[in-house]
Amino acid sequence: MSTSDTAITLESELLVIQQAARIISRSDDPEAAIQGILRLLSQLLGLNRGRVLLVDPSTATLAIRYAYGLTDEERARGRYALGEGITGRVFQTGQMEVVQDIDAEPSYLTRAVARGVLPQEPVAFLALPIQQHEQTIGVLAVHRLRQRERPFQRDLALLQVIATLVAQVLRVNDLVAERTAQLLSENRLLKNRLESRGASYGIIGQSPALHQAINQTLQVAATKTTVLLLGESGTGKERFARMQHVASKRADGPFVSVNCAAIPANLLESELFGHEKGAFTGAQAVKKGRMELADGGTLFLDEIGDLDLELQAKLLRVLEYKVVQRVGGTRDIPVDVRIVAATHQNLQEAVNDGRFRLDLFYRLNVFPIRLPPLRARAGDVPILARHFLNAANQEYGRNQVFGPGALELLERFGWPGNIRQLENLVKRAVLMSTESVIRRDLVQEILVEEEGIRQPGAAGAGTEPGGLSMAAPAGAGASRAPADPVPLHHSEPMTAPGAGVPGNPFDSAEPGLRPYARVRHDERDHIEQALRRHHGNKTRAALSLGLTPRQLRYRIVKLGIATE
């Protein structure tokens, strides 16, 4: 190359970098900025059909996100498994690759652009990793004619600069998205607190099912009526009981809570009614029971269905005569206490089975309020998840936001543990995330670990034995029939057509459908490739295929795939 040619080349390179920087500074749209940079490479340096490939989290494959000189059809065809072909290998290894003649390279797949579209002379392919913090996030690739005076090394040096600029564009876009998501989250929470009657009592949500329960609770709060809260574990029964206390005329009095299932039966009587000195071994002083301590206020009896029959009789006496008698005592002590009871059990069945007194049931069941399970609270999961995220950020000193698709994934889960399970999962995601964004794949990984969880009383949760629970249609409550076990032979039940990726527990056309699909023999290649990509790790391979580990193991056995 002559001196004059070198000068022209340097001038072109500087012009590309200068114009690329100008495009970035003037555009807040990554699509326009990156496409503009790729256009410069083509028009000024002959580096044609430039493309930027990023990981599609829904399929765990590399896909063309930005391009110049490619048709929509070519962009759609440009998908590669991690490690597949030149592009997949560059992403996996983090090393650039130069193919001087695509016709002589077996690893070049000719997938996105057909060979006949390219010039009928030797064509080269250059691919470089796009990296942030020494981690590969994508691939920058271009075509160029092999027979050019301009050396490959000069193109590679310039493309390295361009890859760095593209990485910065993507990083700025992520930061803007994170901040926008954070502001939207705070705005939605503020709006919920302003609009929801229950927000001032710490009950968050906007679904009609929740508002009905809140309205019923506030409606009865001003009365002396005994209230029975019904609902699955984790639906917030104690919070509703506190709301009823705070909204009542007893708000200045004590609120005392007792979990009848958490205290051994031989100690519960003393806890509830107190004891006199010397009533039993270890009773060295007079002790007031929770009934007395709640005098003038509210006593919340959680899991009332676990109270034994003898204590049920004593509780009935308190409700009827407003007096308690301590263990070992003979004196009636008057108490002014309002009882709010709660249970996840079916007390009518307990009455029929002889485990619960009918007369006590009638005294407690004066005003029953059914608290909706989380899966029946349409639209409340994202609101609650953002609330728990803000709380976790404050608790752990973080500043994280949910990434694209993460909230949608949470909303499609069945939540057998209801609000308590959601809060714990969000805290775990905050602690596990190493970035400022809680990404969809991390949420999916945690949800896979949650598979098979059942909560007592969550009969309508729709939890598959060994599989992930799916959300029932809003308002369906516990009306769904229990799922039947996964068959051990023949084929699995099929999902409806168009239900998304077969077997994907997070992607169903209808939320009530079972997440299993018939095993097909054409799945073998995909499963074997996934296992090779993840070095035999079945959990990671299952995630990349949109399956649960159990579903993957079932297919491995059915298809006779060797895993050793």
Q: What is the pLDDT along the chain (564 residues), one digit of tens a residue?
A: 545 445 456 677 777 888 888 887 777 788 888 988 999 999 888 899 999 999 988 888 999 999 999 999 999 999 999 999 999 999 999 999 999 999 999 999 999 999 999 998 999 999 999 998 888 999 999 999 988 777 888 888 899 999 999 998 888 877 777 677 666 666 665 665 545 567 778 888 888 899 899 999 999 998 989 999 999 999 999 999 999 999 999 999 999 999 999 998 888 999 999 988 888 888 889 999 999 999 999 999 999 999 999 999 999 999 999 999 998 888 999 999 999 999 999 999 999 999 999 999 999 999 999 999 999 998 899 989 999 999 999 999 998 999 888 999 999 898 999 999 999 999 999 999 988 899 999 999 899 888 644 433 333 333 332 333 333 333 333 333 333 333 323 333 333 333 333 333 333 333 333 334 456 777 888 888 888 877 788 877 777 777 777 778 878 888 888 876
- Structural domain of residue 386, as residue ranges? 377-483
Note whether residue 465 is domain-resident: yes
HSE value, Cβ hemisphere, 13 Å, CA-based, for 215: 7
Residues 547 and 563: their CA atoms lie apart, in Å, by: 17
412: nearest Cα among 352, 364, 353, 472 = 472
**Residue 350 and residue 226 share a domain:** yes
Q: What is the DSSP letter of 561?
A: -
Give the tokens for residue 53.
């490939």
Query: How far, in whole angstroms, is CA 558 from its chain's centroid?
Result: 30
**Residue 551 and residue 456 share a domain:** no
Q: What is the DSSP letter of 402?
A: E
Q: What is the DSSP letter of 480?
A: S
**Residue 17 and residue 146 share a domain:** yes
Which residue, of 372, 405, 430, is where some domain finishes? 372
**Residue 343 and residue 223 share a domain:** yes
- Cα angle 302, 303, 309 (rounded to 5 degrees) comes to 115
Which residue, of 354, 372, 390, is where some domain finishes? 372
**What is the CATH number for 413?**
1.10.8.60
Buried b (16+ CB within 10 A) or exposed e, 526-552: ebbbbbebbeeebebbbbbbbbbbbbb
**Residue 393 and residue 367 share a domain:** no
**Residue 343 and residue 412 share a domain:** no
Residues 495 and 335: their CA atoms lie apart, in Å, by: 58
Note whether residue 37 is domain-resident: yes
The owner of tokens 């994907």 is 504
Residues 87 and 91: their CA atoms lie apart, in Å, by: 6
Three-state helix/strand/coil letters over 177-232: HHHHHHHHHHHHHHHHHHHCCCHHHCCCCCCHHHHHHHHHHHHHHCCCCCEEEECC
